[in-house]
Amino acid sequence: MADVKNHLGNERGAILLLVLAAAAFIIPLVYTGLDQRLFQISQVDNNLQWQTAWRNSQSMLSQTSVILAYDGATTQSDNLLEMWTHPIPLRGLNGAMTTAIIEDGQRYWNINSLLDGAGKLDSQRYKIYKSILLSLDIPVGLLDSLRDWLDKDNIPHGPDGAENEFYRREKIYYGAGNAPLTNLAELQLLRGWRPEYIERLRPYFRAWPPGVNDNLNINTASCRVLSNLSPELSVAGIDAIIRRRAEKPFTSLNELTVLPELNGIHLPMNLLGVSSNIFYILSTSRQDHMAGRMRALIFRDKGKITIKWLRWEP
Ligand SMILES: [Ca+2]
Ligand SMILES: [Ca+2]
């Protein structure tokens, strides 16, 4: 009888051990499955938020385009007192927020316009660009390698020029671009151009395709950009431009010439303007914990808007 009891006890013990072992195996599996489900739900949620943020940015791009088109169709000048200069907020559900800023591209010089439409050096711009580089303590010889990068030929200009032969000699795996720059960061590829030089130049330059009307808008150009217009232009002259446009923006370049502080000053009038055709849209969209940034370059022809490029990034 005692043997039978012992046998039954051993069997129960073995069964209990088996159940515990099975539970020890199954429970982590259940938890792992639960983790995966939660992870998948979280991913779906993130994707939805991401898509919503992207849609909100697109909606913002439409709104800014309408604002710019209306402005282009109804006004002759572009200045810092106009509606498009104000940040545009768009509130959504659950704290979602999208904001956009429209920036006038023509408050900067176009770096590609160092060469004119025929591919020749633009001597007026060369003087201005050189003056900017000098004021920023950047070697002016860099304009030689820039010129060579932009022009179509393979003949180096000046002691600091660089065409295919230079890049080959230096064992650099690419040659001169012989084409316009698509953005300022591309300058890093050129002979002698260091990243710190490019950062110093950002407040002065942008890169747009050639053939656009890229005259500098005197209603929106920053003080430092204006200061390199002419060596004859004094601080009093720059102040006069800034004060005048803050009270009454320029509607024609003739209004510039009659300012007493600019009397007798030679300005590169053919490179200046009072309106703009090139704009940047900078939009930030936040949806819960997801946020994305959109940048777009817009060309405007009166009321017609063309999006030249669009970038969306986390
Ligand atoms: Ca306008
Ligand atoms: Ca070249």
- Render pLDDT for 49-71 as a digit per residue (tens, 0 to 9): 778 888 888 889 999 999 999 99
CB of 301 closer than 8 Å to CB of 244 = no
Question: Which of 281, 290, 282, 314 has the alpha carbon at shortest distance from 52?
Answer: 290
For residue 67, the ligand closest to its alpha carbon is 1
Above 50 in pLDDT, residue 301? Answer: yes
Above 50 in pLDDT, residue 2? Answer: no
The rounded Å distance from CA 163 to ligand 2 centre is 6
* Range of weakest confidence among 4-18, 50-64, 66-80: 4-18
CB of 147 closer than 8 Å to CB of 120 = no
For residue 162, the ligand closest to its alpha carbon is 2
- Of residues 271 and 285, which shows the higher confidence score? 271
The rounded Å distance from CA 146 to ligand 2 centre is 9
Q: What share of the chain has pLDDT > 70, as a percent?
A: 86
The rounded Å distance from CA 297 to ligand 1 centre is 17
CB of 145 closer than 8 Å to CB of 191 = yes
The rounded Å distance from CA 143 to ligand 2 centre is 12
The rounded Å distance from CA 18 to ligand 1 centre is 81
pLDDT at 75 (0 to 100):
95
pTM for this entry: 0.83
The rounded Å distance from CA 197 to ligand 2 centre is 21
pLDDT tens-digit readout, 151-208: 999 999 999 999 999 999 988 889 999 999 999 999 999 999 999 999 999 999 999 9
Across the chain, mean pLDDT equals: 88
Above 70 in pLDDT, residue 34? Answer: no
The rounded Å distance from CA 180 to ligand 2 centre is 10
CB of 60 closer than 8 Å to CB of 285 = yes
Above 60 in pLDDT, residue 10? Answer: no
pLDDT at 178 (0 to 100):
95
For residue 85, the ligand closest to its alpha carbon is 1
Above 80 in pLDDT, residue 1? Answer: no
pLDDT at 109 (0 to 100):
98
Question: Rounded to whole angstroms, how far apart are CA atoms 203 and 172?
Answer: 29
Work out the pLDDT band at 138, boundaries 50, 70, 90.
very high
